[in-house]
Structure 1
Amino acid sequence: MDGADGYRVRMPLAAGLLAAVRARTRRVTGRAVHRGWRWVRERGAVTCESPGPYRFGELGAGSTLAFPTGTIFNEGSIRIGPFCIIAEQVTLSAGFLPGLDLGPDPVITIGGGCVIGRGSHLVGHQSIVLGDDVWFGPNVYVSDQAHEYRDTTLPIGKQWPRNEPVEIGAGSWIGTGAVILPGARLGRNVVVAAGSVVRGEVPDFSVVAGAPAKVVRRFTEEEGWQPPFRNPAPTPLPDGVTAEQLRALVGWDLRPPGGAEA
């Protein structure tokens, strides 16, 4: 076949071949990009063995700051306990500006076993303390400083700020998008509902929700949980479960660094 008829046949074949080559190239390139980014994330993660450019006041064994990190400065005034997971784009800042000498005491203290969700901010100027096993959802904001606004002759941003220490008790869960304001003091095992704005004292074993947050459920030895739960408790693990069985069940390696059993 030649002439015009041959041309009309060859053109669709060539176009189809070109489209197939382009599709394969996109697939191969996509896989290469994802493999490369996975390599970058693994190498860029911050640990006590591989701290990168950071020199934290303390960075415990088994703790990891995922890459890419958020803004981190004056990390010498930040202490992070062991076995913490700090997700991508988490801001940890102490003081107003990088390069400040903030003295020997920590400004931000994160206890052991804490999980800080992606995009969260801990912005400390005096004292922010998280107890052990505090877990954050994504995009939680915690600060111990607020600006004054009572002087009507000055822009609010130029008025002298006020610092009030923040404490979040061990075992607490802070929901997605919550804001913990200066002066907040949360007890043990407190649940903060997503999107809540927390200020003041929050008692142990309570659930708070709203803006401003209010206690909506609380446990006491005398009355148990009030109001009572409407759904049954999860089925507990059976007695005698081994560490190997638990790892197989949850899909995690629960062994601490060094190979010791969980």
Structure 2
Amino acid sequence: MLTEKIIRKLKGDPSYKFNDDYSDKEIFIVLIGRFWQLIRGFYKRVFFKQTNGLVFIGRSVSIKHAYRIKAGKNLILEDYVNINALSSDGINLGDNVTLARGCNLICTGVIAHKGIGISIGNNTGINAGAYIAGQGGVEIGNNVIIGPRVKIFSENHLFNDIDVNIKDQSVCRSKVTIASNCWIGGGVTILAGVNIGEGCVIAAGCVVTKTIEPYSVVAGIPGKVIKSRMPEDDKVINLKHAIAGL
């Protein structure tokens, strides 16, 4: 199919294939939608700091401080995406990044405290309604799946002084890192300072409050490791390496 060949070339993925269940009409409607997104992208990409390929932009997308955005190939911003890139490091998006309908990427909250920014790696998809707050810095790796309505925070309000309104006290910031090849389930909340290791699975609705070792499966409120994805032999080898490094 010609459409598959085009997408394979754009994505650089020779194994990409459409599901056989799609009718020609359904594929045509999808392509028409992508065409109009591409037209919008040609206009808005000129305001970006840097783009390395095509940009597809849906309806009612809001982009503030676009001059702080760097994008790789085939960026897709679906309808009602809201981006405010005002920050020290801006927003850096890798190749084949998708932000689904209604996603919010915010780098600066209170204008008195300029944020750090957000980085998202290659082939990472962020589902509808996700909220990523990059005031303290958020770094997401390659090939990450982020479910709908995930919330990531990297800044907290201080509240130690009871004689001063909380909103008038300062803030504390701590970077959030999600390594490559992770699956973050729908409705997950990730708090400031959390590092999620490579290959982790975070169950839907989980609240992650502390750093997670690679290849862990995490569930609950607060999130706890319920099992490891690593084979037993690999865990033993890693434990030996950890002991040897002490």
User: TM-score, normalized by length of structure 1?
Assistant: 0.63
Q: 2:107 aligns with which of 94, 101, 108?
A: 94
Letter in 2 for 1:90: C
Q: 1:110 aligns with which of 108, 113, 120?
A: 120
Partners of 2:56 and 2:215 in 1: how far apart? 36
Which residues in structure 2 correspond to 1:1-262 (within 5 Å)? 38=33, 42=37, 43-44=39-40, 48=51, 49-50=54-55, 54-74=66-86, 77-96=90-109, 107-223=117-233
User: 1:185 and 1:39, CA in 2 relative to 1: closer, same or farther beyond 3 A?
Assistant: closer
Q: Residue 206 of structure 1 contacts residue 218 of structure 1 at CA under 8 Å; is this kept in 2?
A: yes
Partners of 1:149 and 1:115 in 2: how far apart? 35
Letter in 2 for 1:122: I
Kindly state the Cα deviation for residue 67 of structure 1 after the two structures are TM-superposed. Answer: 2.2
Letter in 2 for 1:83: N
Kindly state the Cα deviation for residue 154 of structure 1 after the two structures are TM-superposed. Answer: 2.5
SS of the equivalent of 1:122 reads: strand
**Structure whose alpha-carbon radius of gyration is higher:** 1
Partners of 2:111 and 2:167 in 1: how far apart? 19
User: 1:112 and 1:56, CA in 2 relative to 1: closer, same or farther beyond 3 A?
Assistant: farther
Letter in 1 for 2:118: I
Letter in 1 for 2:189: V
Q: Residue 44 of structure 1 contacts residue 66 of structure 1 at CA under 8 Å; is this kept in 2?
A: no
Q: Residue 143 of structure 2 contacts residue 182 of structure 2 at CA under 8 Å; is this kept in 1?
A: yes
Provide the aligned length of Structure 1 versus Structure 2.
Answer: 188
Structure 1 unaligned spans of 5+: 1-33, 226-262
Identical residues among aligned pairs (%) = 24
User: 1:40 and 1:62, CA in 2 relative to 1: closer, same or farther beyond 3 A?
Assistant: closer
Letter in 1 for 2:69: G
SS of the equivalent of 2:82 reads: coil
CA RMSD of aligned residues (A): 3.1
User: 1:164 and 1:100, CA in 2 relative to 1: closer, same or farther beyond 3 A?
Assistant: closer
Q: Residue 73 of structure 1 contacts residue 98 of structure 1 at CA under 8 Å; is this kept in 2?
A: no
SS of the equivalent of 1:157 reads: helix
Partners of 2:112 and 2:118 in 1: how far apart? 16
Kindly state the Cα deviation for residue 183 of structure 1 after the two structures are TM-superposed. Answer: 0.4
Partners of 1:164 and 1:219 in 2: how far apart? 28
Kindly state the Cα deviation for residue 157 of structure 1 after the two structures are TM-superposed. Answer: 2.7
Letter in 2 for 1:72: N
